[in-house]
Amino acid sequence: MHDTSPHIVALAGGVGGARMAAGLTQVWPGERLTVAVNIGDDFDHLGLRICPDLDTVVYTLAGVGDAARGWGLAGETYAAFEAMKRLGGPDWFLLGDKDLATHILRTDALRRGQSLTDFTAAMAASLGVGARILPVSDAPVATLLHTDEGLLAFQDYFVGRQAAPKVRSVVFEGAQNAQPSPQLLRALASGALQGVVICPSNPFVSVAPILAIPGVRAAIENSRGPKIAISPIIGGQAIKGPAAKMMDELGLERSAVGVAEYYRGLVDIFVLHETDADLCSRVSALGMKPLVADTILSSDAARAALARTIEAAL
Amino acid sequence: MHDTSPHIVALAGGVGGARMAAGLTQVWPGERLTVAVNIGDDFDHLGLRICPDLDTVVYTLAGVGDAARGWGLAGETYAAFEAMKRLGGPDWFLLGDKDLATHILRTDALRRGQSLTDFTAAMAASLGVGARILPVSDAPVATLLHTDEGLLAFQDYFVGRQAAPKVRSVVFEGAQNAQPSPQLLRALASGALQGVVICPSNPFVSVAPILAIPGVRAAIENSRGPKIAISPIIGGQAIKGPAAKMMDELGLERSAVGVAEYYRGLVDIFVLHETDADLCSRVSALGMKPLVADTILSSDAARAALARTIEAAL
């Protein structure tokens, strides 16, 4: 498929990545879309392997996600979670009943020796998802944050501490020894690749851990077609999550230009929200072609429209 | 507590054992009741450690059990189970959402090195259970059945095959090397022990695996006070489960007398249902004192009444 049909690769974290990927499926249906997903947020909780970004992407593309929250499942219930609290279990990480099914089956599959890639593919197929959703590696990689409160695992920082600590630097434990997804490398090396889309995910804790897997950044650089990034920062604010706050803490300019600078050398086309149209010349000065669009992906229509804008720019 | 207060030890499997134990708590409140529970049904499913009899006893004594079914939790939901089926997971073993909380926390606790005894005690305490509920051993013991369809693990036989295969013999894998519960041995050795009650559980797959743990049968034989068994067979039929069918298959008389014969040498007092009052002389001939009572434990009142009958016989 990848070698013959025109196709695209997207790099995605959680909510923003999933919403952009949902738009891209409108232009690149079925296996014409490959989504390389961040695994740095993955962690073990109560003995269960939890992969928040993979699940968010699968659920969103399957149309079973909680559209308002952007993560988790629509119509979710919390009977198991409430029962665990009653038994003295931890309550800091919310676990829905339907979501637990994913974690239980995945943990069991990994223990039996199935790869995360194969489990994710089977899960996506069960839910009717046509896109290829790939963990960037089958090896565990853990995003850790050096903060003013010490070294924190990602979920301890993001969920446990609600992203309150000040981030000094981010490391991706295990990344250097992780093998990149062979399917991803094949998709990136294909002569039918039309381009690579860096979704409007957090550059520092969603996209960076993808690029930190050995060979991935080089494979993107060497791939056919333009590399297009969509700014997750609009008017100096993050659409969701701590990206803007982190830019301050990491000493970067808290604006779409700060994001563009971060992607300098990798990205050819940089998509800004209409609000930030005045920043186009500064993006151009970084050697990227600026593209102004509606990047607030709160509706299916907006997601599809941005995907068509991207298609037109290829 | 055990060394000073008059107390009792009960041997229990699942539904029948839990119902009898619930009655015993009316006469022997708090830690005056120790329930030694069968672990031969315990198994790993989807990577979760499931202990059906322990859970049935804890849930029943906590008053949160599904009273009509006799197992599982009242007001249970199945969102996770349905979601697992949608993802291609196995559907032969029903898992409720609230029940999953128990399995997840237990599996995690055991992996962290907590004993099954300590987890069960903490679980029971969380749910307000005062009785001491003890797995007969912390070592895994697996009831296996040689059947006309080959060797089957207990849950494969009982749930997967609905107890349809003909049982030739029963073995308790791991029993010979299992250490008996030290708390159980202490309770049995206590000078304040008033007696031992063998609940109306399946003699062959619920009580036998308790007695198969090295030292347990001898500790009962050497303990103070009478040993009282309640027949799970009434009018030649089992109140619940395959006990009567198994008696045919194992070449035993399918009646309360057949059960009494099975417990010969261990039991002093044998409780028969009123329906079986005509069997008293045959029980006497086995060297046991027969006791006729209402042994259908479908109401709290009936359970408490039988407990008082047992108390009066001590």
User: How far is residue B78's CA from residue B95's CA, in Å, rounded to a whole number?
Assistant: 7
User: How far is residue A306's CA from residue B5's CA, in Å, rounded to a whole number?
Assistant: 76
For residues A2 and A194, is the Cβ–Cβ distance under 8 A? Answer: no
CA-atom Rg of chain B in angstroms: 18
State phi, psi for A231 to the nearest 5 degrees: -70, 130
To which residue do tokens 């149209």 refer?
A: A277
Contact residues on chain A for B47, CB-CB shorter than 8 A: 47, 104, 107-108, 111
pTM over 0.90: yes
Contact residues on chain A for B48, CB-CB shorter than 8 A: 104
Ranges of residues in chain B whose predicted pLDDT is under 50: 1-2
Domains of chain B: 7-313 (3.40.50.10680)
Summarize pLDDT for A298-313 with one digit per residue, the tens: 999 999 999 999 999 9
User: How far is residue B195's CA from residue B208's CA, in Å, rounded to a whole number?
Assistant: 19
Summarize pLDDT for A97-144 with one digit per residue, the tens: 999 999 999 999 999 999 999 999 999 999 999 999 999 999 999 999
Quick count: other Cβ atoms within 10 Å of Cβ A63?
Answer: 13
Distance from CA of B5 to the nearest CA of A (A): 29
Contact residues on chain A for B84, CB-CB shorter than 8 A: 101, 104-105
Distance from CA of A13 to the nearest CA of B (A): 23
Do the Cβ atoms of A97 and B87 come within 8 Å? no
User: How far is residue B38's CA from residue B114's CA, in Å, rounded to a whole number?
Assistant: 19
User: How far is residue A75's CA from residue A47's CA, in Å, rounded to a whole number?
Assistant: 25
Do the Cβ atoms of B47 and A104 come within 8 Å? yes
Nearest alpha-carbon partner for B60 in B9, B23, B111: B23
For residues B35 and B121, is the Cβ–Cβ distance under 8 A? Answer: no
Angle between helices B79-86 and A97-111 (to 10 degrees): 50
Grouping H, G, I as helix, E, B as strand and the rest as coil, residue B35 is strand
Report the pLDDT value the prediction gives residue A164, as an integer from 0 to 100: 96
User: How far is residue B11's CA from residue A301's CA, in Å, rounded to a whole number?
Assistant: 64
Do the Cβ atoms of B89 and A105 come within 8 Å? yes
Structure tokens at A200: 């409007």
CA geometry: angle at A280 spanning A276 and A282, to 5°?
110
Distance from CA of A76 to the nearest CA of B (A): 8
3-state secondary structure chain A: CCCCCCEEEEEECCHHHHHHHHHHHHHCCHHHEEEEECCCCCEEECCEEECHHHHHHHHHHHCCECCCCCCCECCCCCHHHHHHHHCCCCCCCCCCHHHHHHHHHHHHHHHCCCCHHHHHHHHHHHCCCCCEEEECECCCCEEEEEECCEEEEHHHHHHHCCCCCCEEEEEEECHHHCCECHHHHHHHHCCCEEEEEECCCCHHHHHHHHHCCCCHHHHHHCCCCCEEEECCEECCEECCCCHHHHHHHCCCCCCHHHHHHHCCCCCCEEEEEHHHHHHHHHHHHCCCEEEEECCCCCCHHHHHHHHHHHHHHC
Grouping H, G, I as helix, E, B as strand and the rest as coil, residue B189 is helix
State phi, psi for A146 to the nearest 5 degrees: -80, 120
Which of B104, B110, B118 has the highest number of chain A CBs within 10 A, making it the mutation to test binding with A?
Answer: B104
Report the pLDDT value the prediction gives residue B1, as an integer from 0 to 100: 47
Do the Cβ atoms of B87 and A46 come within 8 Å? no
How many helices (DSSP H) and strands (DSSP E) are in chain B?
A: 13, 14
Which of A43, A82, A98, A127 has the highest number of chain B CBs within 10 A, making it the mutation to test binding with B?
Answer: A98
CA geometry: angle at B35 spanning B31 and B37, to 5°?
150
Ranges of residues in chain A whose predicted pLDDT is under 50: 1-2
Q: Which residues pair with A133 in a beta bridge?
A: A35
Quick count: other Cβ atoms within 10 Å of Cβ B144?
Answer: 18
Which of A58, A105, A118 has the highest number of chain B CBs within 10 A, making it the mutation to test binding with B?
Answer: A105
Do the Cβ atoms of A83 and B89 come within 8 Å? no
Amino acid at A190: S
Closest-CA residue in chain B for A120?
B87
Structure tokens at B220: 């009962």
Residue A229 gets the label, from left (phi > 0), alpha (psi -120 to 50) or beta, of beta
Distance from CA of B56 to the nearest CA of A (A): 15
Confirm or reject contact between B122 and chain A (CB < 8 A). yes
Do the Cβ atoms of A84 and B77 come within 8 Å? no
Report the pLDDT value the prediction gives residue A4, as an integer from 0 to 100: 75
* Cβ within 8 Å of residue B71, ≥6 positions away: B14, B15, B18, B52, B55, B56, B59, B65
Structure tokens at A305: 């429209």
